[in-house]
Amino acid sequence: MGGRIDNSMNSKGGGPYSFVLSGQNHHFIGSLLPPEGHPPVYAQLYIYDTDNEVVNRISTVSRNGRAENLDPNIVKLIKRCLDKHNSIVRNYRSAAEIMKHDVVHDVNIRLIRNGNSSGVGRPYDMPTASELAALIVGDFDNSYTSRDIIVKRQSGALQRIDELHIAYLPLQYPLFFHYGDNSYDSSIQHGQESLLTTKKKTRLTPREYLAFRLMRRDSERSVILHGKKLLQQFIVDGYSMVESDRLNYIRNHQKELRVDLYSGLSDAVTRGETDPSSMERRVILPSSFTGGARYMIQNYQDAMAICAWAGYPDIFITFTCNPMWPEINRHCNEDGLKPCDRPEVLSRIFNIKLHKLMHILKDEKIFGSIKAGKLN
């Protein structure tokens, strides 16, 4: 994937763990076997030299300088659990057995794009091995689609995994999806009508799916919420998945967004462009896209319009989150975690307190009646 752990920002210790994305995030998958003369990495460890798999796994981590406290017994235990319960791992193990006893036929693994080809949302029950992955022995047939991923026996090329592939997250986080269960599927529909749900919005979005997975429930103990550093990587990875889905929607609906205001003519004149052909190829980000240039300009213009109408502001409040707030520590201490291990708790409590502050200012009027204000 495109992210990495950045230790330069916290070289002396004591600061927050930093997982940094540079540019666009991608997930790639390689072949079943490593190239000649190269050690196995990632999913290849399920296929190559399985008799020494635990040693190979520890050696892989050691090359990155992160194997100081690895316990081989724990690695063996995790390996046995994944072999028994994870449907994707079982497909890799089956491929290893076939390649071990049959050197004639070529073996590939097909990671199926949609577990439910009918397009109708279904309940999230335990997946079967054939729903998410399938073995291909011999030549390919015409049953697979262009969105499926074919992991070949041996090749030097990497394949990019689409963000909306149901195996996108299970392949990257087998400890979180230990049954190999499906991640987000664009065919999932809302289970019941909501007051906030419009008729046009019937399918689950990536943001709603991730919000569901990041919610604590008394009836279950979530492995994801106890992932510590891996949870932080999962959240960053998930947000890039949400943003990519939103950008794809904007890219595919340019005709609806390309109104006169967004045609780019006024922007082009301002920049001094003289080539009209470039404007047709440009993808326009509307002001509704959070963090985009038009979004920032729109917020600035709204604030200036309020000042032009109501006059100069009397107060400018900067509201920040304190990780030592008792509400945060109460949630974290129940699970033996630190505030830095639960970024989603910090975000929710900060949002609650921010809206409480606005309630105090607007409704309780501790500074008097408010003529106008803006929350950014």
Half-sphere exposure of 223 (CA within 13 A, CB side): 7
DSSP 3-state assignment of 182?
coil
Alpha-carbon span 10 to 6, nearest angstrom: 8
The pTM is what? 0.75
DSSP labels, 205-221: -HHHHHHHHT---TTS-
Task: Determine contact, residues 240/207, Cβ cutoff 8 Å.
Answer: no
The torsion region of residue 365 among left (phi > 0), alpha (psi -120 to 50) and beta comes to: left
**What string of pLDDT tens digits covers the 376 residues of the chain?**
556 666 676 666 666 667 676 666 666 776 767 777 777 777 777 776 677 778 777 777 776 556 567 788 888 898 889 888 888 888 777 777 776 766 545 556 666 555 544 444 444 454 444 444 444 444 444 444 444 555 555 555 666 777 777 878 888 888 898 888 878 888 888 876 655 555 566 788 899 999 999 998 888 888 999 998 889 889 988 888 888 888 888 888 887 776 545 555 556 655 655 565 555 567 788 888 888 888 999 999 999 999 999 999 999 999 999 999 999 999 999 888 999 899 999 999 999 999 999 999 999 999 889 888 888 7
Amino acid at 107: V
The reported pLDDT for the residue numbered 306 is 93
The reported pLDDT for the residue numbered 92 is 76
Give the residue among 93, 88, 169 at the shortest CA–CA distance from 126: 88
DSSP labels, 29-77: E--SSPPTT----GGGGGTTTGGGHHHHHHHHHHTTT--TT--HHHHHH
Task: Determine contact, residues 46/89, Cβ cutoff 8 Å.
Answer: yes
Q: Which residues contact 162 (CB under 8 A, 6 or more apart)?
A: 113, 147, 168
The reported pLDDT for the residue numbered 123 is 46
Cβ count near 120 (within 10 Å): 9
